[in-house]
Structure 1
Amino acid sequence: MNTFIKKLSIYFTAVILSLVLFNETTNAKAPDFNGGVLNEYTYEEVFFLSGAPVKFSGKATITEKENKNLITTTYKFNLSNALGDKLTRSIVYVSTLEAFEDKGQTTSNTSVKSFSEKVTIGTDTYTLDDFQFSQASVIDNRPATDYYSGNIVGRKIYLKTSKGTGSSTNKETITVFINGRDVGYKNFWGATETQVMDYEINTRLGNAFITSKVSDSKSKILQYETHPPSLSSFVGGHTVINSSNMISEYTYDIPYAKIASNKNGTINLNQEKVPTIERLIVPKFRDLSNHWAKDDIEKLYSLGIFDESSSFFSPNTPMKRYQFTIGVLRAVDLRVLEQPKNKKPPTKAIFSDLDPKDPDYIYIESAVEKGIINGVNPSKFAPNQPITRAQAVAILVRALGLEGRAPSPGFKTNFADDNKIPTYAKESVYVATELGLINGDEKNRFNPNQSLTRAQSAAMIARFLNFLENDLKQNYRDDMLFFD
């Protein structure tokens, strides 16, 4: 079976710049399972075993090693607070991955390999004596975005040692039951993971209940910057801002707390990394003045999604199937097929009307391999044929892997010309409407067989990018944290 990697065969300056800026892999991951947050400098979390919320901050070190299907992750924490309390923790997790390539999914099962934890609060010391932990996750690898979900269970047993008067020492066993889940996504434009954990703390004084919600999010945001001088060859251009921040919320119920304000409440933490900024190339099309799609076209050109060498974009001419498919794949940085080093490039294309020597041919082969697009028949792709609205929407939704979210067969869209939507595209049209990627005309018609102009294609791909940049983040962060 072919191996997919991030390798783009691109020869135009715009695309090369885009590749340099965005080739990094974007991951989002909460640091361990304690509700803590961190940035480049500081880690913070709240500890509750003492019968009151105690905030710690300090240094956290996270390392990850991968060997075949095993991932070993090590967390080390060295924390303290202004009162002189201290927390040290070292946990090593091992995750076993199993890829189901025929189904496009991967499962992960995680357990604890080793652990040590010691917390000193005043005259009390809490030492982790036993840690049982299990996490199971499934990752659905879709062309534009990977989606994942996991369940977490565990049990921690602490030995509490308290110094009494004189040389006396009191000892107690505290058991913490852990139950939680995490959900997330990862794509070329960003990643978000949200973790919700419930803890039940059993002590000799009674039981306490803690819930932590933590979300890590990384994103690339496009921002237009004006160029003020009047004597210049350009008036402005786009900037990419790479941002990352982590937010956390603890809610606690400690009936046996000695101080009333410690019995229940909410604590919020927030850490944000310093953003990085990259400037993109400046488009100079001469036929876009006051055009309604000017902003979308220039943004996509700056990103290398369009690679026109001409100073004319021709916004009102039809968009070809070949060009649209390549543009979408570039927009999501889709991993393309790579030939083994000892194997020559293909001499025969998968469709008779394509040229395997074309530098962009590999995009089409990858799109077909991943089920994003089909030929007009088994032997023809019709690369120069104008793409229709139905075909374009099907490509976008298949790239997201969301076409299966439509209702069971027999459903109808709300468009007046629902009966004209081709069967192959009906699910995609329904989902795209729900996601806000498309709208009908003034008579509520979708016009599925109408050809897209290059300007309309740019607007559609721009909305698609906005979904990847913003809508997924809201669904995996705000909806989980505030409406869970």
Structure 2
Amino acid sequence: MKHWIIKVALSLLVILLTGTISHAGIIWMDGGVVGDLQISGANEYREVTFVTGKPVVLRGLVQIPDVPEASDTYRLNYDFELTSADGTITLERSLTYDVVKTENANIGQTTYEKTLTGYEETINTPNGIFTLGKYTFLEGRIIDNTPAVDYYSGNFLAERTYYIDGAFGQNNGEFHVVTDARPIVGYSHYWGANETQVIKHSFTQYGPGEPGEAEVIWSGTADVGMATTRKTDFSYQHTDPQNISFRGNYFKIIREENVLTYDYNMPYANEGAVDLESIRRSTGEDHISDEVILESKSLVIPRLRDIGGHWAEDNIFLLTSLEIFEVENDYFVPGSVISRLEFGKAVVNVINGKLPEPTRTEIIQRQRPGVDKLYNDISSDHPDYHYLEYIKENGIMNGRSYDFKGNEPLTRAEAITILVRALGIEYMAPAPPYDTHYADNAAIPEWAKDAIYMASEVGLVTGTPEGYINPNAWVKKDEASQMLINFINHLKDDISYDYREKILNR
């Protein structure tokens, strides 16, 4: 317990001194591990270079710009200053990316093009000065925008030529790097983000001479895996004093984990020096990693009288601490049926955070003549109009015959369908006809079958011990809390494992 309190205190001190850090992503194709933010405004950074014929870890600082997520066109500039542990290798690099995003609202997807429009690099080594002479780099991605998650996949092509101790036509040789990238994959949602890629570098150093005629001095390869993951975790802290008004509370902690793995096949290294005469090869694998605490925040303490000892007590306490569920008095009534509006608002709070209250101007605008109604049974002055507007615009829930019917209950099939559609994974179900593994498969409505199948596949629901899913039963508030906790855990934990460990450990 003491260690946890010290860690939280240190986390809060770091945030007070340096502010929070945005998710960096993978900022360079050679891979690298972003570390703590310095007072200077630069971040600690480590990467591996192979220019001398063996892997050498470089460490230093990188300036990371803020990414203007709301802009469709923007420019990013990065500046690196790195050195090896023994000081014999130094690297200076300056990058400029131009990014263009094009949204296709009809299909809910966005294309992303990143062009390297400015690139300068110099590497000083005992083997000479490597100066970048020419390069090719093109990157494209497709982003699938779902209500809860933006998933993406992409690729890039890259090739570089460095001149050793000189420039084009006047040098002691050239160093070529050809990079072949597997698909870049990643996601972004309210609870975290990830970017993972695996690439193969092919290195060739040539002696002086005309292109195509120069002698090959050495060649090698390196498979490099990179992942950067922002995650949200919750930690409950019990209060020790007896004379206190609450037993404990949750902390919300946001971390960024950066991992780089490399597997290399290079010229033979004899006592630390590359032996160019040997037919043997140096092979091996290693990794570097770092973790940064971005935020540590104490959550509110709900005061509920009717959840102590209930099977869903922990779920309800956490969800109300996060203000996902609103509690207007001291009673949650976990065994009562949840309404469509209560469930819809909770889902919005999970995937977007609590919506800000509308301004007076926004309220006046929605009340003007000619403004389309959201639903027939929702007036423009409804206190939850902004939530209902978000629900409709993002396709989170459907109405019932042009009405929302917010006070009516919803079935388990409806609740599961809402969560799966928010994830955008209903299309991953097999082509019909097929059966789920539930004993009451025949009772599942056809419109909910894909959602229930996929919810089972990813662990959002498990059914009863007897093997029933009870699709047409009304959802109670304690059941809803379990569904929402499973949904949050899927976003912040399960997807992370799927995108990082499975790919890097192939």
Give the TM-score, by structure 1 length. Answer: 0.88
Does the 8 Å contact 1:185/1:191 carry over to 2? yes
Task: Give the drift of 1:269.
Answer: 0.8
- The alignment partner of 2:303 has SS state of coil
1:72 is matched with: 75
1:431 is matched with: 454
Per-residue CA deviation, residues 62-102 of structure 1 (Å, 9 max, x unaligned), is 22565953221212111112233211111111122111111
Structure 2 Cα separation of the partners of residues 26 and 213 of structure 1: 22
State how 1:17-28 maps to structure 2 within 5 Å: 27-28=23-24
Paired residues, what number? Answer: 453
Structure 2 Cα separation of the partners of residues 256 and 98 of structure 1: 48
Structure 2 Cα separation of the partners of residues 195 and 335 of structure 1: 33
2:5 is matched with: none
1:271 is matched with: 290
Instruction: Calculate the aligned-residue CA RMSD, in Å.
Output: 2.4
Does the 8 Å contact 1:64/1:74 carry over to 2? no
Per-residue CA deviation, residues 417-457 of structure 1 (Å, 9 max, x unaligned), is 11111122111100000011111223211110101111111
Task: Give the drift of 1:105.
Answer: 0.9
Structure 2 Cα separation of the partners of residues 299 and 335 of structure 1: 15
Does the 8 Å contact 1:140/1:146 carry over to 2? yes
**324-333 or 365-374, larger mean C-alpha shift:** 365-374
Task: Give the drift of 1:295.
Answer: 0.6
- The alignment partner of 2:505 has SS state of helix
- The alignment partner of 2:390 has SS state of helix
1:481 is matched with: 504
- The alignment partner of 1:332 has SS state of helix
Structure 2 Cα separation of the partners of residues 228 and 62 of structure 1: 42
Asked if residue 359 in structure 1 is aligned to residue 383 in structure 2, the reply is yes
- Aligned-partner residue type, residue 178 of structure 1: T
Structure 2 Cα separation of the partners of residues 448 and 276 of structure 1: 39
Identical aligned pairs, as a percentage?
Answer: 30
- The alignment partner of 2:352 has SS state of coil
Does the 8 Å contact 1:207/1:255 carry over to 2? yes
Structure 2 Cα separation of the partners of residues 272 and 27 of structure 1: 12
2:123 is matched with: 119
**182-191 or 261-270, larger mean C-alpha shift:** 261-270
Asked if residue 327 in structure 1 is aligned to residue 346 in structure 2, the reply is yes
1:230 is matched with: 242
2:192 alignment partner, one of 190, 197, 202: 190
2:149 alignment partner, one of 145, 161, 173: 145
Structure 2 Cα separation of the partners of residues 342 and 367 of structure 1: 17
- Aligned-partner residue type, residue 76 of structure 1: D
Structure 2 Cα separation of the partners of residues 280 and 110 of structure 1: 38
Does the 8 Å contact 1:212/1:250 carry over to 2? yes
Does the 8 Å contact 1:31/1:37 carry over to 2? no
Does the 8 Å contact 1:220/1:242 carry over to 2? yes
Task: Give the drift of 1:201.
Answer: 1.0
Asked if residue 172 in structure 1 is aligned to residue 173 in structure 2, the reply is yes
Task: Give the drift of 1:409.
Answer: 2.3
Per-residue CA deviation, residues 368-400 of structure 1 (Å, 9 max, x unaligned), is 2222211122x2222111111001001101111
2:221 is matched with: 209
- Aligned-partner residue type, residue 34 of structure 2: L
- Aligned-partner residue type, residue 297 of structure 1: I
Does the 8 Å contact 1:98/1:108 carry over to 2? yes
- The alignment partner of 1:309 has SS state of coil
**62-71 or 440-449, larger mean C-alpha shift:** 62-71
1:403 alignment partner, one of 417, 421, 426: 426
Task: Give the drift of 1:262.
Answer: 7.2
Does the 8 Å contact 2:54/2:267 carry over to 1? no
Structure 2 Cα separation of the partners of residues 191 and 370 of structure 1: 20
- Aligned-partner residue type, residue 210 of structure 1: A
Give the TM-score, by structure 2 length. Answer: 0.85
Task: Give the drift of 1:297.
Answer: 0.6
Structure number with higher relative contact order (C-alpha < 8 Å, ≥ 6 residues apart): 1
State how 1:129-140 maps to structure 2 within 5 Å: 129-140=133-144
